[in-house]
């Protein structure tokens, strides 16, 4: 779906609100305060459109209550346009560019971006254990240190760069999470949390993986130290492809990523990776399986079904707090 088609689909606020209510409440309205299913529309001259009252707790709510759009002063169309640009971009959109496209200031665009990433984070956490052939790799994210004559800087390990662990199933799903190093004590519980015991694990020669691999059905590794990057079906090229996307997004789009918010940026990139389907394409008489993005509205449904319960709040320092629990839990 191109941009003009998207704009025609959502010409005004009423169309946007109807769509959000359909996707956020697919089985009927649910009170975000108590979870009750009984509510009614408040119809009076002073009430805003789409305002409901719960039949159990008497709390008032709209489709944006306790979502990243909670108490927003922006048009719903602006939020949907922001989602469109972030979902359809290949490497992400900086807040400066997003502000120009949406017609808002940079701080507002920054908040919109992180609000959408909050929903993407919940989507990433909703993915079950990775199964089948799963590739494991780690990536150190951070800028190059300032040049100093005669000083050789380490590339990753041993620096203050952020360590990101990547687990990619060759079936299509990925999990990318910030970890505190690549030791066995750190990686073992994390890998067991995201990878099914029945998985066939592929890694490089990192020492921690030798012990971690014993917890899974099969463990194979390649030795990059002797320039061995693939041995038949044994490789970690898929994981390294995802790492390359991380690096391109960091260097080419965001330039600087705060340690406090890096997990949300990882969730954004993982969301686009996870919302793809294998498609057979023919070229020069040969068939090849390619990964293609899911239809746009299907991606929107995958994103918005995690909206309720991911409310964000501004901090006194100008940042944002973590999502609040659902139903006041």
Q: How far apart are CA 141 and CA 167, in angstroms?
A: 16
CA torsion sign for 251, 184, 127, 242 is: positive
Contact 269, 249 (CB under 8 A): yes
The closest of 7, 10, 6 to 18, measured between CA atoms, is: 10
Express each pLDDT in 246-283 by its tens digit.
888 877 777 777 778 888 889 999 999 999 988 888 87
Express each pLDDT in 172-225 by its tens digit.
899 999 998 889 999 999 999 999 999 999 999 889 999 999 999 999 998 888
Q: Report whether pLDDT(86) > 50.
A: yes
Contact 37, 30 (CB under 8 A): yes
Three-state DSSP class for residue 161: coil
Tokens of 39: 């509510």
CA torsion sign for 49, 55, 58, 64 is: negative
Express each pLDDT in 106-153 by its tens digit.
999 999 999 999 899 888 888 889 999 999 999 888 655 555 666 555
The closest of 324, 322, 320 to 112, measured between CA atoms, is: 320
Q: Report whether pLDDT(325) > 60.
A: no
Express each pLDDT in 232-243 by its tens digit.
889 999 999 999
Contact 198, 218 (CB under 8 A): no
Q: How far apart are CA 44 and CA 270, in angstroms?
A: 44
* More confidently predicted of 143 and 16: 16
Q: How many CA atoms lie within 13 A of 6 on its CB side?
A: 18
Please give the model's pTM, rounded to 2 decimal places: 0.84
H or E element in which residue 108 lies = helix 106-126
Q: How far apart are CA 1 and CA 7, in angstroms?
A: 10
Average pLDDT of the residues of the chain: 86
Question: In the 8-state DSSP scheme, what is residue 225?
Answer: G
Tokens of 25: 């409440």
Output Rg (C-alpha) for the chain, integer angstroms: 22
Backbone φ and ψ for 12, nearest 5 degrees, come out as -150, 180
CA torsion sign for 91, 95, 100, 101 is: positive
User: What pLDDT, on the 0 to 100 scale, is given for residue 314?
Assistant: 58
- Confidence band, pLDDT 50/70/90 cuts, at residue 324: very low
Mean pLDDT of the 68-92 span: 92
**Which of 51-55, 87-91, 247-251 shows the lowest per-residue confidence on average (mean pLDDT)?**
247-251
Contact 97, 135 (CB under 8 A): no
Mean pLDDT of the 83-108 span: 93
Share of the chain above pLDDT 70, in %: 89
Backbone φ and ψ for 182, nearest 5 degrees, come out as -115, 25
Please name the residue that has the structure tokens 């929107």.
300
Contact 176, 165 (CB under 8 A): yes
The closest of 327, 298, 307 to 122, measured between CA atoms, is: 307
Q: How far is CA 217 from the centre of its chain?
A: 29
Contact 301, 119 (CB under 8 A): no
Q: CATH class for domain 133-144+158-274?
A: alpha beta
Mean pLDDT of the 36-47 span: 89
Residues 6+ apart with CB under 8 A from 8: none
**Which of 30-34, 155-159, 247-251, 260-264 shows the lowest per-residue confidence on average (mean pLDDT)?**
155-159
- Confidence band, pLDDT 50/70/90 cuts, at residue 42: very high
Backbone φ and ψ for 203, nearest 5 degrees, come out as -140, 180
Express each pLDDT in 199-214 by its tens digit.
999 999 889 999 999 9
Boundaries of every domain in the chain: 133-144+158-274
Q: How far apart are CA 228 and CA 223, in angstroms?
A: 5
Q: How far apart are CA 53 and CA 38, in angstroms?
A: 9
Express each pLDDT in 286-295 by its tens digit.
777 788 899 9
Question: In the 8-state DSSP scheme, what is residue 252?
Answer: I
Please name the residue that has the structure tokens 């990776």.
273
């Amino acid at each position: 779906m191109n941009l003009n088609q998207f704009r025609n689909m959502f010409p005004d606020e009423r169309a946007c609100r109807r769509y959000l209510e359909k996707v956020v409440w697919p089985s009927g309205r649910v009170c975000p305060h108590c979870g009750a299913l009984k509510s009614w529309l408040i119809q009076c001259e002073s009430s805003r459109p789409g305002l409901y009252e719960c039949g159990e707790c008497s709390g008032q709510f709209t489709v944006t209550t306790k979502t990243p759009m909670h108490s927003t002063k922006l048009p719903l169309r602006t939020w949907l346009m922001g989602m469109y640009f972030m979902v359809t971009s290949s490497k992400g959109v900086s807040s400066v560019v997003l502000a120009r496209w949406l017609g808002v200031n940079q701080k507002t665009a920054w908040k919109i971006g992180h609000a959408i990433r909050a929903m993407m984070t919940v989507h990433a956490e909703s993915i079950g254990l990775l199964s089948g052939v799963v590739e494991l790799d780690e990536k150190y994210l951070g800028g190059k240190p300032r040049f100093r004559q005669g000083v050789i800087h380490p590339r990753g390990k041993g620096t203050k760069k952020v360590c990101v662990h990547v687990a990619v199933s060759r079936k299509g799903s990925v999990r990318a999470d910030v970890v505190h190093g690549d030791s066995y004590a750190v990686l073992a519980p994390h890998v067991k949390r995201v990878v099914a015991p029945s998985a066939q694990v592929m890694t490089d020669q990192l020492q921690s993986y030798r012990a971690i691999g014993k917890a899974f059905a099969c463990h194979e590794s390649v030795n990059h130290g002797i320039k061995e990057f693939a041995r038949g079906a044994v490789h970690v090229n898929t994981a390294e492809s995802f790492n390359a996307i991380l690096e391109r997004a960091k260097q080419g789009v965001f330039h600087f990523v705060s340690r406090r918010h890096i997990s949300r940026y990882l969730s954004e990139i993982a969301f686009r990776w996870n919302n793809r389907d294998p498609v057979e394409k023919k070229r020069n008489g040969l068939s090849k399986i390619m990964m293609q993005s899911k239809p746009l509205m299907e991606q929107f449904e995958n994103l918005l079904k995690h909206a309720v319960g991911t409310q964000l709040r501004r901090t006194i320092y100008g940042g944002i707090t973590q999502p609040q629990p659902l139903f006041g839990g």
